Amino acid sequence: MQPLATLLGWTLVVLACILAAWITTRYIWSTSQAERRAAHLMREIFSPQEMRQLFWRGYVDIPSTLAPSRVYRVPRSNGYVQVRENGRIIMGLCLQPVERLPRADVVVLHKLMIEAQEEFYLQTANKFRYFDL
């Protein structure tokens, strides 16, 4: 009886490990596939200059369509979007999608919203004022 229980126990352990490895592999593969697609979309939408700025500086400056002296500085990593006028930060904006998206998709989202519907972008985002001390 003891060898049968041991064999059954080890079989369950092996099956649990296989199931965990399968779930983990599928999760990692789908996440990396989403990241690859997002990076490809970004390369199609952003100009070479914007891609260089994003890669080397960690942010991309998107010019305002409403105010000629305004620029939106969108970070590559998580963080607030800086609103700059005449080179000075005037406020920070926080606007995130409800569902988790690859970071490259979020950067593209900011760019497209600013360029297409800047007023709606400003109305929707949470605003944080910057003060010079």
* Range of weakest confidence among 9-13, 26-30, 34-38: 26-30
Whether the model pTM is above 0.85: no
Q: Is 16 left (phi over 0), alpha (psi -120 to 50) or beta?
A: alpha
Domain ranges of the chain: 2-129
pLDDT-based confidence at residue 133 (cuts at 50, 70, 90): very low
> Given this model, what pLDDT does residue 40 score?
92
> What pLDDT, in 10s, does the model give residues 45-86?
999 999 999 999 999 999 999 999 999 999 998 889 999 999
Average pLDDT of the chain is: 88
Rounded to 5 degrees, φ, ψ at 91 are -165, 165
> Given this model, what pLDDT does residue 51 score?
95
